[in-house]
Amino acid sequence: DTGVSQDPRHKITKRGQNVTFRCDPISEHNRLYWYRQTLGQGPEFLTYFQNEAQLEKSRLLSDRFSAERPKGSFSTLEIQRTEQGDSAMYLCASSRGDRVDYGYTFGSGTRLTVV
Amino acid sequence: DQQVKQNSPSLSVQEGRISILNCDYTNSMFDYFLWYKKYPAEGPTFLISISSIKDKNEDGRFTVFLNKSAKHLSLHIVPSQPGDSAVYFCAALDAGKSTFGDGTTLTVKP
């Protein structure tokens, strides 16, 4: 297993455009998380899935953000009508729900720049 | 309000000495605490965790201490090595998701 993969690594988009990011978790992990990180801050929770069910979505997340995890495998995060404030690193992580003490395995992230 | 705080943005230590990174939290419902290390251009990497029912957990050079009454935890690295230079994040787990602090940048000087 090659770990958690995120695609693309970098994305530059014009304000108002839609973007979609993909995350492929570790296959044995049933939980998948999306976080956002800006410079000088820690990862900020966006949403998470257990298998294909989205269990929680941050109240900080506007309706422009949506995430899916069809069939409990890969996940996509879509941002509609992007704004400059959406510029950040978007991190995906996966974990085993029965071993929270093992922590998360993070991908390398997708860096979004909205111009 | 920030539920997990790392009040020291940076820490510099000499190689071979002890590094102590601190973290405070406010939510008594957190049931696990974790430390991650992050190098530039990579995602965070899990280091060590501790259950809220314990006060110490050790793994090689890394030891995490938990003081529940003070709502404080710390990560000790002994001896520190130049390869330990990175950003360290404290995280606390509740209801299936982790809340992260803003990180402490550790620099270990040869």
User: Mind giving me the DSSP string for B21-60?
Assistant: EEEEE--TT--EEEEEEE-TTS--EEEEEEETT-SEEEET
Query: Distance (Å) from the C-alpha of residue A41 to the closest C-alpha of chain B?
Result: 4
Neighbours of A69 (CB within 10 A): 23
Three-state DSSP class for residue A110: strand
Average pLDDT, chain A: 94
| Rounded distance between C-alpha atoms, residue A90 and residue A37, angstroms | 6
In Å, how far from its chain's centre is CA A3? 15
With beta carbons under 8 A apart, name residues in chain A contacting B89.
Answer: 42-43
With beta carbons under 8 A apart, name residues in chain A contacting B102.
Answer: 40-42
Task: Write out pLDDT tens, residues A49-86.
Answer: 999 999 999 987 789 999 999 888 999 999 999 999 99
Q: Specify which residues A62 forms β-bridges with.
A: none
pLDDT at residue A1, rounded to an integer = 54
Query: Distance (Å) from the C-alpha of residue A81 to the closest C-alpha of chain B?
Result: 26
Phi and psi of A22, rounded to 5°?
-120, 145
| Rounded distance between C-alpha atoms, residue A52 and residue B95, angstroms | 18
Output the tens digit of pLDDT for each of chain B's 110 residues: 789 999 999 999 999 999 999 999 999 999 999 999 999 989 999 999 999 999 999 999 999 999 999 999 999 999 999 999 999 999 999 988 999 999 999 999 99
Report the residue of chain B nearest A9, measured CA to CA. B41
pLDDT at residue B1, rounded to an integer = 74
pLDDT at A2 over 80: no
Q: What share of chain A is helix, strand, coil (3-state, %, to 5)?
A: 10, 50, 45
User: Taking a contact as any Cβ pair under 8 Å apart, which residues of chain B between 52 and 71 contact chain A?
Assistant: none
pLDDT at residue A59, rounded to an integer = 86
Read off the tokens for A104. 């998360």
pLDDT at A30 over 80: yes
**Chain A CB within 8 Å of residue B20 CB:** no
Neighbours of B40 (CB within 10 A): 6
